[in-house]
Each structure stands twice: as structure tokens, then as C-alpha cells.
A and B are shown apart, each in its own frame.
Chain A
Amino acid sequence: MSRIRELAVEATGISKSFGAVEVLRGLSLTVEAATVFALLGPNGAGKTTMINILCTLLRPDAGTARVAGHDVVAERSLVRRRIALTGQYAAVDTLQTGEENLVMMGKLCRLGRAESRRRAAALLEQFDLLDARRRTVKTYSGGMRRRLDLAASLVGHPSVIFLDEPTTGLDPRSRQEMWGVIRDLAGSGVTVFLTTQYLEEADQLADRIAVIDGGRLVADGTPEQLKGRIAGRRLDLTLADATAYAAAVRHLGAQAIQHEPSTHRLGVAADGSAGQIRRILEDLHEHDIDVETLTQHSASLEEAFLSLTGQRPASRPADGNAEHGAADRSAGTDRDKETANV
């Protein structure tokens, strides 16, 4: 790394059990300030538990975490002054109006009465809720409630904002709006830490993604790195025998991203161009490594998720790629393969 940026979140070896159930097992992650970070995983992966630990609501059994420069256990108050949490369910009073909710949050953030009102008015405008400000939240649509919920988290000018599954349960249009709001937030210099079950959402919003499953980190990187590493396009080379396989493994080194010794098959990261395939094949040929067949594989985002977590990501009926979700596992991994003899 060329230079060190301020870290908004720095968690090391976080473990947490509830009774006999180990929810987090030594999870470590870092988030740079003023970026959007997505914690991606299937239901029950430990996402909410991790967010609750970082928001000081839960104490980790082991490990340490610093948020906005402060320890989440020893300096709880200091962390709480710098963060905001928006949980899975809109945490606003349905019997208060939008304006009353925000003014109340302002007072609790110790802004004082006048400043609370100013801040509420500004946020109502920013989140397109001015017309609805005098109505009780009971009358709001799901998308409006989420926007108010997010506005409520921003009242105290947090530097790190945690969003636990911000679009779960929203219709596609409200989800698009929510994405826009999150992008705007990121643009304002706030660090956004969100969890999601949807790879598509992480891909759309995040600068970096960490994939967790069973309380462990299974992959992390930029969306492009993740897709390139796990999915994207891959050239699967089937070698003639175990000797050729071993030689190819030695020769290709880090280029090989998937190893299947039992079938002598080796997956190589590829960009899909004919030139690259030719170069790889010529290279191996020059070193007397026999390739029997090759298949080009272009996996979908969902397959990336599947290969990381062994589970299919949640799919919404409204999604354009709903048929991906409907396809069963074997069909999903074999799709898009073209076989050519060499």
C-alpha cells in the first residue's frame, strides 16, 4: 500500500457465541474512512451480530474492534458519539410525525432545540420528506420510513453509519431510491458500513466487499476483484494426467485460481479473449504440458456467491435475473460452458 488512510473500522479476531452457537469465529476486517463497505453473506452468516458488536450493542467474546478511532468496549461512549445505526426494521416512532421523530433525535444528540429543528428541516428536505413532515409515520410507505430512518441516523453528524440490510423488504423502485441515497451519503464523506444478502446490491454500492459465511471471512476485495477471482471468466483446463496437472500447477502459479486434482482440472483467470487463450495454450505446449480439453466459464454474480458460501443468495421475484435464482445448483454451475477440443 502506497499510503495509509484513516481506518473507520478495524476489527481483529472478533468471536461471539450465543450459548453453544458460535456466530462469529475470529472475524477480522478493516474499512477505510469515507468508503462504502459491504458485509455480504447469507442469512445466519453473522452479519447482524458483527454490526451489533461494532455499534457497541454487543460485547465480543474475543477480539478487539475500533470504530472511528475508539475501542468499542473500553470507549463505548466515544464510539456512540461518532456512529449511527440503522437496523433491519425502521427504528422510528410510527405515532410521531416525521418532523417530531427527527427533532427528538436532535435533542438526544444534544443539538439543542433550535439546532434540532434546523437539522430536522434540512434532513426532511434532503430525503424528500418535506411534504410528509406533519404526518404520522404510520401513514408513510415502506420506502419513506426507510428514508426517515436513515435521516434519523444522520441527525447527529455521524462519521460512520451502519446500515443493516437497508433494502430488505423494499419494492424495486424504493430499493433504487435507497441506493441513490446511500451513494449520496458516500459522496458526502461519511463511511458507510452496510450488510446485505444481495451480491448485486454490494456490487452496486460498495468500494469493498467482505463475504462471510458461518461467522468466518471467506473472501474480500473490491467487487471487481471478487468477481474476477471467483467468477468472471475462467478457463478450465483439463490436463492429460496427474504429471501434466502437477507441471501446470507449478508453471501457472498464481494464475491458477481453481484446483481440482482428482479430475486434473485447473481453472485459470481469463479475460475471455482469444489471444489470451492462445498464449496460455502455446505457453503450456512449449513446456510439454498436455491440455486435453478446455472450457470457458463465465459465471454469474450469483455463482460467485454460491462458490464462496455454498449457498444460493436470496433472490427477489422482481429481479431481472430471477431465472438465475430459479435454476438449481448443478444447472447453475454448468451453464455458459462451451467445450472445445484441442
Chain B
Amino acid sequence: MSELLTPTGPAAAAHPGSAPTARHSGPFWAVSDSLTMVARSLRLSIRNPDALVTAIALPVMLMLLFVYLFGGAIQTGTAYVNYVVPGVILLCTSFGASMTAMSVCQDMVDGIIDRFRSMDIASFAVLTGHVAATVVRNVVSTSLVIVVALLIGFRPNATVGEWVAVIGLLALFVLAMAWLSATVGLIAKTPEAASGFTFFVMFLPYVSSAFVPVETMPSWLHGFAENQPVTPIIETLRGLLLGTPIGNNGWLALGWCLGILAVFFLAATALFRRQTTR
């Protein structure tokens, strides 16, 4: 059995170690891994122009479509552009959601998740990377919508405090939708399926008070349109931006956002753990 001992290289002791040059604690590396993953997700978004244009340009185009083509026929008691802007902002989030779901799903079906898992890193950072990139994409698309809206006559009367509340609520909604999309991405078998699944989320703003007052819809839709999460969020944004009555919509909006965020953060965490530890 002399062939048993046929080394092809220098002794194993000569292996270079992979010890990190600087010693840092676990949390440091968890943050460092997450930042690396955020940079990765953002780079992947920029390199996917089709999806990026959809996520950023489509809301603006839809806003122009609504304001100039349909707006004249819709009676809202105010300039239609003022009425429609909060809804368009939520559309941005919905369009962005499909990109998040696709990216998460792509990572799970590609071999890359196994590579990350076989490394001594917090592989959960893959998900936080996608979620953080979603937030950044939304900041860009929402800002663009607001700038264009201001150009075509959107005249909010919000105070600084109200703007802060708007940004806070939007951030919460974006985060909730991002974790929902991540969950969809983890459930779907293919990126195409993940994208298709988020169509439902994309559709929600249409059946709400986002574009037309709920009263103008057929009565059988009222129940759904008034009680689905998007309506109180829209009404709250409208109230903050334009001074329309908010009533208890503020608390409802906050409750929906926090609820969705909690449920889907936990769902995504559990699904990711189940899919990555077998």
C-alpha cells in the first residue's frame, strides 16, 4: 500500500492560514458582512437596467398618465395631482417590491447562496443586503416622483414635522414591503414566479383610495377598498401632505405597517433558516 502515501505538494503544515489580519468582535463582522452585501445588492440593481427603469421611471409615467389623461374626468374636490401623489409614491414601493423578490429568489436558486453559507459569514446578511438596497432604490424613485410632481403642480402644505412623519411612515411601509418581497422570493421556486407573485402587491394601490375616491367604486368593492392596508396609509399621507382629515387612519396605517413588517420579517427569517440549515 505504498501508493497510499503519495503527496503531490509540500507538507500540509505549509498551508497559509486564513486568519483575519485584524481582530474584531462578532458584531463588527456582522455589520461589515451586511455592508458588503448591501453594496453587492445595489451594484446588482444598477446592472439590471430593465428592472431599474421599471422601478424608477414607471411610477413617474403612471403619474403623468393619471394626471393628464384620467385626472380631468376624476372629481376629487382638489387638484387631481395633489390627490394622486401619495398613491403614486406607494406604487413606487410596489414596483420596487418585484425586484427585491426576484433578486432574493435568484440568490436562493443560484449556487451563490451555498458559497456564502460555506463561508464563515452571517449568511443572513444576504437578505439584509437586499432589503437595504430596496430602501435605497425607493428613496431614489420616491424622490423622483416628488420632484416631477412639484414640477407639474403638486402643492403640499406640510410642515417640517409633517414631512418627517411622511418620511417615517413611508420608510416603515417600504421596510414592510421589502420583507414581504423577501418572503415571496424565498417561497417562489423561480425568479419569474417571484416576480409574478408580487403583482398582487402591485395591484393593491389601485383598489384603494389612491387614484379615485372609494365612494365612486361599485358598492361590493367598498368593504375591501376601505379596509385594506393601502387606504389608511394613503389617507394618512394625504392628510399630512395636504391637510385633509386623517381621523384614526394614522393609527391604522401605523398598525398595518408594523404588523406586516413584524409578520414578514419573522417569516423571512424562519424560511431562510429552514432553507439554509438542512
- Contact surface of A with B, Cβ cutoff 8 Å: 1-3, 5-6, 8, 32-36, 52, 55-59, 77, 80-93, 95-96, 100, 104, 107-112, 115, 136, 152-153, 156-159, 186-191, 207-208, 221-222, 224-225
Task: Give min CB distance, A142 to chain B, whole Å.
Answer: 14
Interface of A, secondary structure class, is loop
Known: A1-B4, A187-B9. Is A82-B18 also a contact (CB below 8 A)?
yes
Tell whether, in the assembled complex, residue A107 and residue B36 are in contact, meaning their CB atoms are under 8 Å apart: yes
Question: Which parts of B207-261 form the interface with A (CB within 8 Å)?
Answer: none
- Interface segment among B60-68, B116-124, B157-165: the answer is B116-124
In contact, A34 and B3 (Cβ under 8 angstroms): no
**A156/B18 in contact, CB under 8 A:** yes
A-B contact pairs, 24 of them (CB 8 A): A5-B7, A34-B7, A36-B8, A56-B118, A80-B118, A85-B115, A85-B118, A87-B114, A91-B115, A92-B112, A95-B48, A104-B39, A107-B32, A108-B33, A109-B18, A112-B22, A115-B21, A136-B47, A158-B18, A186-B8, A189-B10, A189-B14, A189-B15, A222-B3
B-side interface residues toward A, CB under 8 Å? 1, 3-22, 29, 32-33, 36, 39-40, 43-44, 47-48, 110-112, 114-121, 277-278
Q: CB < 8 Å: which of B15, B43, B47, B112 contacts A91?
A: B112
6 tightest A-B CB contacts, nearest first:
A33-B12, A91-B111, A95-B47, A110-B20, A80-B120, A91-B115
What number of A-B contacts does a CB cutoff of 8 Å give? 139
CB <8 Å contact, B115 and A87: yes
Docked pose: A163 CA to B237 CA in angstroms: 54
B190 → chain A closest CB, angstroms: 15
Distance between A324 CB and nearest chain B CB, rounded to angstroms? 26
Given A56-B118, A57-B118, CB of A190 within 8 Å of CB of B1 = no
Within 8 Å by CB of A34, from B11, B29, B117, B118, lies B11
Q: How far is the CB of A67 from chain B (nearest CB, A)?
A: 11
Taking A34-B9, A222-B6 as contacts, is the C-beta distance between A152 and B32 under 8 angstroms? no
Q: Shortest distance in angstroms between B148's beta carbon and chain A's nearest beta carbon?
A: 28
Q: Known interface pairs A57-B278, A58-B278, A89-B110. Does A81 touch B115 (Cβ–Cβ under 8 Å)?
A: no
Residue contact B120 to A81, C-beta cutoff 8 Å? yes
Measured in the bound complex, the distance between the Cα atoms of B20 and A80 in whole Å is 13
Closest chain A CB from B52 CB (angstroms) = 11
Q: Which of A80, A81, A153, A207 contacts B8 (CB 8 A)?
A: A207
User: What residues of chain A lie closer than 8 Å to B36, measured between beta carbons?
Assistant: 104, 107-108
* A188 with B9: CB separation less than 8 A: yes
Complex CA distance for A208 and B5, rounded to whole angstroms? 10
A95-B21 in contact (CB<8A): no
Assuming the contacts A34-B8, A158-B18, asked whether A55 and B118 have C-beta atoms less than 8 A apart, the reply is yes
The reply to whether B114 and A95 form a contact with Cβ atoms under 8 Å apart is no
Task: Check A91 against B7 for contact (C-beta < 8 Å).
Answer: no
Complex contact A93–B112 (CB within 8 A): yes
Q: Within 8 Å CB of A56, what residues of B? A: 117-118
The reply to whether B12 and A6 contact each other, CB–CB distance below 8 Å, is yes
- List chain A residues, Cβ under 8 A from B111: 87-91
A34/B10 in contact, CB under 8 A: yes
